[in-house]
Amino acid sequence: GSAARREGSFSREFSSLLSRGCLSTSRIDMDALEDYVWPRATSELILLPVTGLECVGDRLLAGEGPDVLVYSLDFGGHLQMIKRVQNLLGHYLIHGFRVRPEPNGDLDLEAMVAVFGSKGLRVVKISWGQGHFRELWRSGLWNMSDWIWDARWLEGNIALALGHNSVVLYDPVVGCILQEVPCTDRCTLSSACLIGDAWKELTIVAGAVSNQLLVWYPATALTDNKPVAPDRRISGHVGIIFSMSYLESKGLLATASEDRSVRIWKVGDLRVPGGRVQNIGHCFGHSARVWQVKLLENYLISAGEDCVCLVWSHEGEILQAFRGHQGRGIRAIAAHERQAWVITGGDDSGIRLWHLVGRGYRGLGVSALCFKSRGRPGTLKAVTLAGSWRLLAVTDTGALYLYDVEVKCWEQLLEDKHFQSYCLLEAAPGPEGFGLCAMANGEGCVKVVPINTPTAAVDETLFPGKVHSLSWALRGYEELLLLASGPGGVVACLEISAAPSGKAIFVKERCRYLLPPSKQRWHTCSAFLPPGDFLVCGDRRGSVLLFPSRPGLLKDPGVGGKAGAGAGAPGVGSGSSGGGNAFTGLGPVSTLPSLHGKQGVTSVTCHGGYVYTTGRDGAYYQLFVRDGQLQPVLRQKSCRGMNWLAGLRIVPDGSMVILGFHANEFVVWNPRSHEKLHIVNCGGGHRSWAFSDTEAAMAFAYLKDGDVMLYRALGGCTRPHVILREGLHGREITCVKRVGTITLGPEYGVPSFMQPDDLEPGSEGPDLTDIVITCSEDTTVCVLALPTTTGSAHALTAVCNHISSVRAVAVWGIGTPGGPQDPQPGLTAHVVSAGGRAEMHCFSIMVTPGPQHPKPSRLPRHAPFVPRLDEYWDRQPTDGSLAFWDLTTVLDHDSTVLEPPVDPGLPYRLGTPSLTLQAHSCGINSLHTLPTREGHHLVASGSEDGSLHVFVLAVEMLELEESVGEAGLVPQLRVLEEYSVPCAHAAHVTGLKILSPSIMVSASIDQRLTFWRLGHGEPTFMNSTVFHVPDVADMDCWPVSPEFGHRCALGGQGLEVYNWYD
């Protein structure tokens, strides 16, 4: 009585009926098939949404398409991926894992896992002791007649809940149905949950499309196949139920629904018929459909389409919210209760591990520092932090106060009536604030105060008018500068030093700088550019400026030469006519005018050979100083809605965090994980605030309601959430282009997680790594490294400049760093990306193998570019015709190099096409050309209607007789041979590549990668492979090496790489 077998015979009965339908289908002669089995593409790597997750002991299983990733979650602070097990579920997607309970077994050594998804089920036995992974056995891939919504081990067999409300008892070793029981109500289900450990007590909770929960008991069936009536129907949700979870110990059931809510039901023991069901929680917190829910002993975890994972108490309060996944939602969740971890898997193919902390975060919080008291008259005007435990504040009476966070008390340091009403206050940078702070007033006076000995404060009158801004610049522990902006764009640079006794400080004016003219002409921030000969400053007008850090620097060839910056005496910058004039001040040696727009630059930071600037335009820049000139490398946008960036810090682990204001919140944002690490509801950035971070603590102080508020996060209390795997793209990939290949010597060998005995012989030789660029609807362009030896993928960098989706990228000018004269290992290329809102970006990339890192590092940068266009442009319109334009008449005749148009931003007019060819009935989705040996061009196109069109195009030069003036040659296009394959694919042909004059490969949304033989009349089918990426939008193929053969990358809702031997 196998239902699967029944279905099989059922379909065979009808196959005789199908013959009449075959009249309208395209059939290719079967006899020709034998010859054409080569080349055969095999999947090498896939990046797909993570659709299943399960913790097994200290391992994590993640389902990605039909593959399983195995992670080891070791306690030694070490976390690693062990392996990928390929193709467990054939063409199905994995939706869940069920580990067979082992009463006396140890899951840390081996486990029997049932993997299911769609209509497929397979059991696999794996062993993973001592970091060694072995697949011991796998069953056949069993196909069910219907979708599997849940699976449960009942001793050696498995119970399955199927899509039309039936339960099947299945023998997974032999692969046969032991029993099948339907419900009397054979509605379509959207989810199901099986409860109980034996068939006798098996309970199914089924989520019907009527939004009801049906509870029924398959074992109450009188005979096999006799329908069972539901015991209870539970209503409440107003949308489809997508997921449910039962907690036996507390008798709770949780459901997640399309109506964006999660409900908690008190159900008692569901195995007992007729029990009372009570809805004890109706939790609204998600802003989109809720895909997943999981009940833990003390928590309820839910996640959904809004990319947020919420942690609820059983009472329905939100305890934590995990944000960081990108794109279309979180598809899978798992929990490790002993370690208090939640693991989420996203549609972006990212996997993240989060820490459950219970109620509230200990060691985090905002406290009011109770400044207001009778003994402290005046209102607070400004606040600053000297390190993370000392806070300074100044009042409108000109009094400076110190607050010690450890002692928790205020202390007046000094009072100076000259600093009444207008007073700037900045503490010196450094690990614990250097023990110095500076005040400035409206009369041009600056006061530098040693915090421990305020009586030793030094006053310096610099300007006849108001001091607009103050900033510090620190070089190691050697040099400390204070910059003060006065009227007329003059910046005074003061050198601060301390007496060896520490009791006295010395303030000496070193030089003055002059800012470029603007309405609000003052600087906002400053930093030393290592090694220290230059200062990088930002100003209120949004410009970034480079000043020599000493006046004599430019005149002294010794210093200038040593720094490699005085190249040809860069002279004095553009804006300053009298650059070296001591009265007005030194001009900048390099300026990036209005880089951050009118709202101004907010910070400059130098790190790792780059300069980073932030601005109130919501962007941060990576800059580079070469030959004494500032050059922008990369502009990055921060998280959505955060338009006021206030600063950038490099945190101890080397990653970068962005400080900014998001509406009325202060946010510390990690651009890599897209996570808001800290959120403080401070009221916005217009009030006085200060930020400090040290190993011990992070602190943020601000003024509110006449008091100082202090937010502190003590070190160690915010364990970083771990990204097990970063997401690739949040939305669909629209274009894939291979840039080139870099060769890594053995010294760069990618570390293998497996022991060397697992290395295959024959994998020696140069380690080739392909560099591929992908772009996506999520507005980013991503650079990937795909080593040929390991089948792994590494994300090198992402460029997020586009305001709308990125639709296409083109790559040209591929070379090596150092140019052809002095080639160095690595790769350089120019990239242009085009996207929505008619936006195009051009940048260069450089990929070099880094000596410290065993993997390539990157240097993306903007560069002026000269695009080289091919002579003939093809357009892919939506009416099915191909048009060819002669660009030589538009561009300069003798040159294929296009000079930038006189009016930048305006493209050339193409005029009328020189040839238009109606190739398809509707839109063309792919196009490729290949020059042939005879000097012709082989052109192939693929369309939305699934057809292919291949033709040979000849370019003939005709002498134009009637031409006025000089008689010229006019190229004419002529089609020599033309073939069409009407039903090549069942959907849009979105990828097409002519590999050689005799082989072509096509990829379509019907998920087939098909090889075609060319050159003998009609293209003939060779073979076809089913791939896993849905909605494939682009394909690129390239030859790697004679030993390795070809590689092919398919991009769509995910990325897949295939290879085949030539």
Among 150, 533, 675, 944, binds other proteins (CB under 8 A): 944
- 484 to 4, 251, 465, 602: CA distances (angstroms): 81, 67, 12, 15
Task: Select the span of 52-60, 76-84, 487-495, 513-521 touching other proteins (CB under 8 A).
Answer: 76-84
**Beta carbon of residue 366, minimum distance to other proteins (angstroms, whole number):** 4
Among 641, 896, 986, 998, binds other proteins (CB under 8 A): 986
**Beta carbon of residue 179, minimum distance to other proteins (angstroms, whole number):** 17
**Beta carbon of residue 419, minimum distance to other proteins (angstroms, whole number):** 31
DSSP calls for 923-970: -EEEEEEEE-TTS-EEEEEEETTS-EEEEEEEEEEEE-SS-SSS--EE
What mask of x and - would describe binding to other proteins in positions 377 to 416, judged by CB under 8 A?
A: ----------------------------------------
Among 235, 278, 287, 461, binds other proteins (CB under 8 A): 287
Q: Does 225 bind other proteins (CB under 8 A)?
A: no
Q: Does 463 bind other proteins (CB under 8 A)?
A: no
| Residue in the block written with tokens 């069993």 | 142
How far apart CA 962 and CA 722 sit, in angstroms, is 73
Q: Which of residues 112-141 bind other proteins (CB under 8 A)?
A: 118, 133, 135-141
**Beta carbon of residue 603, minimum distance to other proteins (angstroms, whole number):** 24
Instruction: Give the closest residue to 985 by CA, choosing from 1005, 1001, 1012.
Output: 1005
Q: SS3 of 36, please?
A: helix
Among 97, 116, 128, 142, binds other proteins (CB under 8 A): 142
Q: Does 752 bind other proteins (CB under 8 A)?
A: yes
**With respect to other proteins, which residue has the nearer C-beta, 170 or 434?**
170
One-letter amino acid at 987 equals: A
Among 57, 58, 84, 199, binds other proteins (CB under 8 A): 84
**With respect to other proteins, which residue has the nearer C-beta, 390 or 937?**
390
Q: Does 982 bind other proteins (CB under 8 A)?
A: yes
Show the 3-state SS of 704-716: ECCEEEEEEEECC
Is the CB of residue 261 less than 8 Å from the CB of residue 282? Answer: yes
Q: Which of residues 877-916 bind other proteins (CB under 8 A)?
A: 878-880
What mask of x and - would describe binding to other proteins in positions 644 to 673, judged by CB under 8 A?
A: ---------x--------------------
Radius of gyration of the CA atoms of the chain, in A: 34
Q: Which tokens is 578 given?
A: 């009298």
- 1007 to 25, 41, 116, 1033: CA distances (angstroms): 19, 13, 21, 11
Q: Does 212 bind other proteins (CB under 8 A)?
A: no
**With respect to other proteins, which residue has the nearer C-beta, 320 or 590?**
320
Q: Does 363 bind other proteins (CB under 8 A)?
A: yes
One-letter amino acid at 1031 equals: D
Q: Which of residues 577-596 bind other proteins (CB under 8 A)?
A: none
Among 218, 575, 856, 1019, binds other proteins (CB under 8 A): 856
Q: Does 714 bind other proteins (CB under 8 A)?
A: yes
Q: Does 251 bind other proteins (CB under 8 A)?
A: no
**With respect to other proteins, which residue has the nearer C-beta, 975 or 1026?**
1026
**Beta carbon of residue 622, minimum distance to other proteins (angstroms, whole number):** 17
Among 291, 299, 513, 885, binds other proteins (CB under 8 A): 291
Q: Does 741 bind other proteins (CB under 8 A)?
A: no
Residue 22 has phi, psi (to 5 degrees) of: -70, -15
Q: Does 235 bind other proteins (CB under 8 A)?
A: no
Q: Does 284 bind other proteins (CB under 8 A)?
A: yes
Q: Does 354 bind other proteins (CB under 8 A)?
A: no
Which H helix or E strand runs over 529?
Answer: strand 523-529
How far apart CA 745 and CA 747 sit, in angstroms, is 5
Among 38, 102, 200, 209, binds other proteins (CB under 8 A): 209
Instruction: Give the closest residue to 1014 by CA, choosing from 1006, 1002, 1025, 1030.
Output: 1002
**Beta carbon of residue 821, minimum distance to other proteins (angstroms, whole number):** 29
Tell me whether strands 96-99 and 1008-1013 are parallel, antiparallel or unpaired: unpaired
**With respect to other proteins, which residue has the nearer C-beta, 526 or 673?**
673
**Beta carbon of residue 885, minimum distance to other proteins (angstroms, whole number):** 19
Q: Could you tell me the maximum CA-CA distance found in the chain, to the nearest angstrom?
A: 103
Q: Which tokens is 869 given?
A: 């266009």
Q: Does 840 bind other proteins (CB under 8 A)?
A: no
Q: Does 487 bind other proteins (CB under 8 A)?
A: no
Q: Does 24 bind other proteins (CB under 8 A)?
A: yes
Q: Does 559 bind other proteins (CB under 8 A)?
A: no
Among 58, 396, 509, 1006, binds other proteins (CB under 8 A): 1006
How far apart CA 117 and CA 343 sit, in angstroms, is 20
Q: Taking the alpha carbons of 214, 218, 220, 224 in that order, is the dihedral positive or negative?
A: positive
- 954 to 292, 772, 875, 975, 977: CA distances (angstroms): 58, 32, 18, 6, 10
Q: Taking the alpha carbons of 145, 149, 154, 155 in that order, is the dihedral positive or negative?
A: positive
Q: Which of residues 165-204 bind other proteins (CB under 8 A)?
A: 173-176, 182, 186-188, 190
Q: Does 1059 bind other proteins (CB under 8 A)?
A: no
Q: Does 461 bind other proteins (CB under 8 A)?
A: no
**With respect to other proteins, which residue has the nearer C-beta, 353 or 1001?**
353
* Cβ density class 439-469: b for 16+ within 10 Å, e for less: bbbbebbbbbbbbeebeebbebebbeebbbb
What mask of x and - would describe binding to other proteins in positions 302 to 341, judged by CB under 8 A?
A: --------x-x---xxxxxx--------------------
**With respect to other proteins, which residue has the nearer C-beta, 18 or 582?**
18
**With respect to other proteins, which residue has the nearer C-beta, 49 or 560?**
49
**With respect to other proteins, which residue has the nearer C-beta, 233 or 466?**
233
Report how many residues bind other proteins under the rule CB under 8 A.
171
Task: Select the span of 101-109, 285-293, 483-491, 735-743 touching other proteins (CB under 8 A).
Answer: 285-293
Q: Which tokens is 919 given?
A: 């190739």
Task: Select the span of 379-387, 420-428, 599-607, 792-800 touching other proteins (CB under 8 A).
Answer: 792-800
Start-to-end C-alpha separation, the chain: 47
- Partnered with residue 142 across adjacent β-strands are 121
Q: Which residues contact 335 (CB under 8 A, 6 or more apart)?
A: 55, 294, 296, 301, 341, 342, 343
806-815 sheet: strands from edge to edge: 806-815, 827-835, 839-849, 856-858
**With respect to other proteins, which residue has the nearer C-beta, 714 or 863?**
714
Instruction: Give the closest residue to 150 by CA, choosing from 138, 141, 160, 142.
Output: 160
**Beta carbon of residue 496, minimum distance to other proteins (angstroms, whole number):** 34
**Beta carbon of residue 295, minimum distance to other proteins (angstroms, whole number):** 17
Q: Which of residues 1017-1036 bind other proteins (CB under 8 A)?
A: 1021, 1023-1026, 1030-1031
How far apart CA 1 and CA 965 sit, in angstroms, is 89
**Beta carbon of residue 699, minimum distance to other proteins (angstroms, whole number):** 11
Q: Does 91 bind other proteins (CB under 8 A)?
A: yes
How far apart CA 342 and CA 118 sit, in angstroms, is 25
- 772 to 420, 714, 739, 831, 1052: CA distances (angstroms): 61, 41, 5, 11, 14
Q: Does 353 bind other proteins (CB under 8 A)?
A: yes
Q: Which tokens is 345 given?
A: 């898997």
Among 34, 77, 761, 903, binds other proteins (CB under 8 A): 77
